Chains A and B, each alone.
Chain A
Amino acid sequence: MTRLPVTVVGGYLGAGKTTLLNRLLADTQGRRLAVLVNDFGAVNIDAGLIANRDGETISLVNGCVCCSIGDNLGMTLYDLAERPDGPEHIVIEASGVADPARIAAYAGCHPSLGLDAIVVMADATTIRERARDKYVGDVVRQQLAAADLVLLSRTDLIDVAESHRVRDWIMAEVPGARVQDAPAMGRLAQILLVGTKAAEIDPSPGAHDSLFSSWHVGSALPLDGAALRSMLDALPPAVLRAKGIVQLAEAPGRRFVLQLVGRRWSLEPEPHREKLALVSRSEIVVIGLAGQLDPEAMQALFAPVLAACLSPAVEALLRSETRP
């Protein structure tokens, strides 16, 4: 069983959550999305996209639905998860004052749901001032701390130096934060969707459009689990997503599913085997924005994961096999 992925989009009022949701609905990467919002009024769904409106649910011609959360997020999510022809990916818009981590708890409310990522939008022009506000300062800082990926909006309204100051401030507030500029939002929106299907563990670089670059590593031998875990914690901010199916030296005969978004990653035993071309290999695909992933740096990072169980000769062979 693959869990139905749930993405939480948080951030304070005016940070750009709605823009992000609209981008997602406009280009769903071929998925049936369910987008859960607090208030329909805020999402301006193109009238041409609307197939049908029924109370709390708007159905779109591309197979997606947009639901108003109403008074019970748990109930709304639960019902979506139970639908026989339900969505392939759920995106929840957290309210501007909500702690996205609390909302993310709902991603585990049904046995078939699983949290994919918490993405928090931050308005680069106001975030630092907000963080000092007596009513919401702690809320804003809590939102950033909950983020797997912080998307900075409105960086086009400030100069580069100021943009760097904002990033540095976020990094100081939340050590290890993954911060990306959101003017590239059209692209960034897609990274939330790309790679959530198990079948998409596809090592060919052309699998993603030119907006992203991917880097792949494969191994016929089991990986060093401890080295893999510490490597996942040390990935550069340019890595937006990674996914993989791996065998670990510590657990022979079992396979593990790797999922990573920003600084959230999980490595869980594969519930049951899925159809895959490369049955016995470990395969990891790393995705970042085009031009941002440095293949050599990635190879250096992955070296210890492979080295522990490989002879230098095999390693050399494997290196030649990996591609940027």
Chain B
Amino acid sequence: MPGPITVFSARKIITMDAAVDEATHVAVRDGIIIEVGDLDDCAAWGPYTLDKRFDDGVLMPGFIESHAHLLEGLLWAKAEYAGPVDRRDPSGRLRKGINNVPDLVRRLKEIEATLEDGARPLVAWGIDPSLNDPIAPITRHDLDKVSSTRPIFLLHASCHIAYVNSATLTLANYAAVTAPGVQRDPSGEPTGELDELAAMMAAIKAVAADLVGGSTDPAQFYNFARVAQARGVTTIVDGGSGTYFEPAFLEAALAATAAEDFPARIVAHHNGITVPTAEAMIRFAAALEGKGNDKLSFQGLKIVLDGSNQGFTGRLRPPGYLASGANGLWNRGPEELRTLVPALHNAGLQIVAHCNADQAAELFIEAVAVAQAARPRFDHRHFIVHGQLLDESLMRRMAALGIHVTLFSNHLYYWGEFHRAHTFGAFRAGAMNPAATALRLGLVAAAHSDTPVSPVDPLLTLWCAANRVTASGRVLGPRERVGVHDALRMMTFNAAWLLHRDHEVGSIRVGKRADFAALAQDPLAIDPMALRDIEVLGTVVGGRVFGARA
């Protein structure tokens, strides 16, 4: 027995469908789109309830965040946000960025005053002094002004650095910790800055243990989805080292996402990061087959080839990093890749490969070429995550082998100036995240935030791809700017295709799921520089409305 029909009306519906561009009404039954057109077209299906709450808005297919990490949800659950970048919290409130140390100290004092238990550590995340004005180090002396007794632990946005106060240094016995990442002043005293996990470990164990070690807190799933939902996302990837193969974690994930009011769909990649061998990866992936629910599914197996460019650990082709000529770190080496990639390919898995810089991408492409030569597969949809330094030659090889990409366009805005001055230099900074060339060559390209690295906000991400403007207003590589329609497609249909979900989501088309984003303005009718400021009125997931008044 089919359920009742709801018709959503809008000032304009941008379908992102290849054949039919626009409409004003969409009819939904049992979570599925049954008609797209005007009200009369929808009425042809019989009695309906007209939902006019988005009457003044513009409906789009719900945005799809093609690379993000569940960790953001855990950070909101366990720590306070105190970073330099504006972020929306799970309640939808905008947290303005804190851009200098005195303001940071002020904010931490406010938080400190709300903590009743005197022994409870104050843990905050999202810190990045390189985006502060002025750029100044954060020391224990700054943090001791907040409290000399309560342990304080601030996690850098990269998660590779922590800043702690004297109370934490004492509690964790840093006098005896010899890790070289413990920064010390000329007298040998720790400054409070701890670089890399080896140096952070003692502090994490002493004051922030719940940030590591596979929490099953249901809040992490809800927070993760909710923050994304607030900016129009209806499907978000958990592209990390999730341990869904562990029964307790899977159970927590299934329970959280099965709730009626869970606000977005999660597509989780299989873990090829912390699992050591191809055999184990294939076994874990197979064990999760069919284990999902309506809002949690498993697709693609994530492997990591290199590090991060802003951390100088991406693998570059010559001449390497600006000035130093240094190169980054391999996560898995060439010999391993040349057997791992074919093994996963032959097992029928979709490989999602973190390749931040161009040498990592080159190696992955080479490994897929080996796999394809031995055993060709069509429509495997292997794709590269980040691909920040892809060039035309690499992308033509990708096109030939069927490898696609989700680009890290947000880097252009947040770290564009940093890359120009410190990592890549002028030319490569201008050529970063080449979305226009990718699309021209026929790659199915999307873009992503990699939250918590940068905030989940598809409108900001597509603004980056369309404008390529740095935080200080410089346009990096104007030829690689994409048109707004293409940018919208990157964050909808293309992302759905990469996730093997384009038959279900990614456009507003009869037969697909009723997943929409309702926007206050028409992105195709405004100045592209205003895209990121578009207000999100709410979302619809499977016909159910989220984040908007009735």
Residues of A within 8 A of B (CB): 1, 12-14, 38-39, 41, 68, 70-72, 74-75, 77-78, 95-99, 102, 105-115, 133-136, 138-139
Instruction: For A38, give the chain B residue with the smallest CB separation.
Output: B276
Known: A105-B181, A110-B201, A111-B202. A97 touches B276 (CB 8 A): no
Q: Is the CB of B198 within 8 A of A105?
A: yes
Residues of B within 8 A of A (CB): 172-182, 196-202, 205, 212-213, 241, 273-274, 276-277, 315, 327, 329-336, 359, 363
B-chain residues with CB within 8 Å of residue A77 when the two chains form the complex: 201
Q: Is the CB of B196 within 8 A of A105?
A: yes
Q: Is the CB of A39 within 8 A of B333?
A: no
With beta carbons under 8 angstroms apart, the residue of B174, B177, B334 that contacts A135 is: B334
Q: Is the CB of A108 within 8 A of B198?
A: yes
Q: Is the CB of A135 within 8 A of B359?
A: yes
A-chain residues with CB within 8 Å of residue B213 when the two chains form the complex: 72, 75
B-chain residues with CB within 8 Å of residue A107 when the two chains form the complex: 178-179
A-chain residues with CB within 8 Å of residue B336 when the two chains form the complex: 13, 96-97
With beta carbons under 8 angstroms apart, the residue of A1, A12, A109 that contacts B199 is: A109
16 chain-A/chain-B pairs, Cβ below 8 angstroms: A41-B276, A68-B276, A71-B241, A74-B201, A75-B212, A75-B213, A78-B201, A97-B332, A98-B329, A105-B179, A108-B177, A108-B198, A109-B179, A111-B177, A133-B334, A136-B334
A-chain residues with CB within 8 Å of residue B329 when the two chains form the complex: 97-99, 102
With beta carbons under 8 angstroms apart, the residue of B173, B241, B277 that contacts A41 is: B277
Instruction: For A37, give the chain B residue with the smallest CB separation.
Output: B276
> How far is it, in angstroms, between the C-alpha of A98 and the C-alpha of B182 when the chains are bound?
21
B-chain residues with CB within 8 Å of residue A70 when the two chains form the complex: 274
Q: Is the CB of B176 within 8 A of A111?
A: yes
**11 further interface pairs, Cβ-Cβ under 8 Å (given A38-B276, A96-B336, A111-B174):** A39-B276, A71-B274, A74-B197, A74-B198, A102-B329, A106-B201, A109-B198, A111-B202, A133-B334, A134-B359, A136-B330
Q: Is the CB of A105 within 8 A of B199?
A: yes
Tell me the smallest distance from the CB of B175 to a CB of chain A, in Å. Answer: 8
Tell me the smallest distance from the CB of A77 to a CB of chain B, in Å. Answer: 8
B-chain residues with CB within 8 Å of residue A139 when the two chains form the complex: 330, 333
Q: Is the CB of B196 within 8 A of A97?
A: no
Tell me the smallest distance from the CB of A148 to a CB of chain B, in Å. Answer: 15
A-B contacts, CB under 8 A, total: 99
Tell me the smallest distance from the CB of A111 to a CB of chain B, in Å. Answer: 4
9 A-B pairs with least C-beta separation: A71-B274, A108-B178, A108-B179, A111-B176, A97-B333, A105-B198, A109-B201, A97-B330, A74-B201
> How far is it, in angstroms, between the C-alpha of A193 and the C-alpha of B173 when the chains are bound?
27
> How far is it, in angstroms, between the C-alpha of A161 and the C-alpha of B62 when the chains are bound?
69
Instruction: For A101, give the chain B residue with the smallest CB separation.
Output: B180
> How far is it, in angstroms, between the C-alpha of A71 and the C-alpha of B212 when the chains are bound?
11
Instruction: For B276, give the chain A residue with the smallest CB separation.
Output: A39
Known: A75-B212, A97-B333. A39 touches B177 (CB 8 A): no
> How far is it, in angstroms, between the C-alpha of A110 and the C-alpha of B174 when the chains are bound?
9
Q: Is the CB of A13 within 8 A of B327?
A: no
Known: A105-B181, A105-B199. A111 touches B205 (CB 8 A): no
> How far is it, in angstroms, between the C-alpha of A82 and the C-alpha of B163 when the chains are bound?
24
Q: Is the CB of A96 within 8 A of B202?
A: no
B-chain residues with CB within 8 Å of residue A105 when the two chains form the complex: 179-181, 196, 198-199
Tell me the smallest distance from the CB of B343 to a CB of chain A, in Å. Answer: 14
A-chain residues with CB within 8 Å of residue B201 when the two chains form the complex: 74-75, 77-78, 106, 109-110
Q: Is the CB of B334 within 8 A of A78?
A: no
Tell me the smallest distance from the CB of A286 to a CB of chain B, in Å. Answer: 25
> How far is it, in angstroms, between the C-alpha of A68 and the C-alpha of B277 when the chains are bound?
12
Instruction: For B181, give the chain A residue with the smallest CB separation.
Output: A105
Q: Is the CB of B333 within 8 A of A13?
A: yes
Known: A97-B332, A139-B330. A110 touches B276 (CB 8 A): no
Q: Is the CB of A114 within 8 A of B327?
A: no
With beta carbons under 8 angstroms apart, the residue of A13, A75, A97, A111 that contacts B173 is: A111
Tell me the smallest distance from the CB of A93 to a CB of chain B, in Å. Answer: 12
Instruction: For B318, give the chain A residue with the smallest CB separation.
Output: A134
Tell me the smallest distance from the CB of B341 to a CB of chain A, in Å. Answer: 14
Q: Is the CB of A96 within 8 A of B333?
A: yes
Tell me the smallest distance from the CB of B160 to a CB of chain A, in Å. Answer: 12
> How far is it, in angstroms, between the C-alpha of A78 and the C-alpha of B172 when the chains are bound?
12
Q: Is the CB of A110 within 8 A of B202?
A: yes
Interface centre among A71, A133, A135 (most CB of B within 10 A): A135
Tell me the smallest distance from the CB of A176 to a CB of chain B, in Å. Answer: 20
B-chain residues with CB within 8 Å of residue A106 when the two chains form the complex: 179, 197-198, 201
Tell me the smallest distance from the CB of A82 to a CB of chain B, in Å. Answer: 9
Instruction: For B334, give the chain A residue with the smallest CB separation.
Output: A135
A-chain residues with CB within 8 Å of residue B330 when the two chains form the complex: 97, 135-136, 139
Instruction: For A13, give the chain B residue with the smallest CB separation.
Output: B335
Instruction: For A14, give the chain B residue with the smallest CB separation.
Output: B335
A-chain residues with CB within 8 Å of residue B182 when the two chains form the complex: 108
Known: A13-B336, A108-B177, A110-B177. A39 touches B198 (CB 8 A): no
> How far is it, in angstroms, between the C-alpha of A290 and the C-alpha of B449 when the chains are bound?
60
Q: Is the CB of A136 within 8 A of B327?
A: no
B-chain residues with CB within 8 Å of residue A108 when the two chains form the complex: 177-180, 182, 198-199
> How far is it, in angstroms, between the C-alpha of A138 and the C-alpha of B363 when the chains are bound?
15
A-chain residues with CB within 8 Å of residue B315 when the two chains form the complex: 135
> How far is it, in angstroms, between the C-alpha of A39 and the C-alpha of B213 when the chains are bound?
20
Tell me the smallest distance from the CB of B174 to a CB of chain A, in Å. Answer: 8
Q: Is the CB of B205 within 8 A of A135?
A: no
> How far is it, in angstroms, between the C-alpha of A14 and the C-alpha of B273 when the chains are bound?
22
Instruction: For A137, give the chain B residue with the smallest CB separation.
Output: B327
Instruction: For B176, give the chain A residue with the smallest CB separation.
Output: A111
Instruction: For B213, give the chain A residue with the smallest CB separation.
Output: A75
> How far is it, in angstroms, between the C-alpha of A173 and the C-alpha of B179 when the chains are bound?
27
Tell me the smallest distance from the CB of A307 to a CB of chain B, in Å. Answer: 32
A-chain residues with CB within 8 Å of residue B196 when the two chains form the complex: 102, 105
Interface centre among A12, A13, A71 (most CB of B within 10 A): A71
> How far is it, in angstroms, between the C-alpha of A93 and the C-alpha of B441 when the chains are bound?
43
> How far is it, in angstroms, between the C-alpha of A138 and the C-alpha of B332 when the chains are bound?
15
Tell me the smallest distance from the CB of A36 to a CB of chain B, in Å. Answer: 13
Known: A71-B273, A74-B197. A136 touches B333 (CB 8 A): yes
A-chain residues with CB within 8 Å of residue B332 when the two chains form the complex: 97
B-chain residues with CB within 8 Å of residue A38 when the two chains form the complex: 276
Tell me the smallest distance from the CB of B238 to a CB of chain A, in Å. Answer: 15
B-chain residues with CB within 8 Å of residue A14 when the two chains form the complex: 335
> How far is it, in angstroms, between the C-alpha of A323 and the C-alpha of B330 when the chains are bound?
49
> How far is it, in angstroms, between the C-alpha of A281 and the C-alpha of B274 when the chains are bound?
51
A-chain residues with CB within 8 Å of residue B276 when the two chains form the complex: 38-39, 41, 68
Q: Is the CB of A115 within 8 A of B212?
A: no
Known: A39-B277, A68-B276, A108-B177. A135 touches B363 (CB 8 A): yes
Tell me the smallest distance from the CB of A183 to a CB of chain B, in Å. Answer: 24
A-chain residues with CB within 8 Å of residue B173 when the two chains form the complex: 111
Instruction: For A72, give the chain B residue with the smallest CB separation.
Output: B212
Tell me the smallest distance from the CB of A243 to a CB of chain B, in Å. Answer: 18
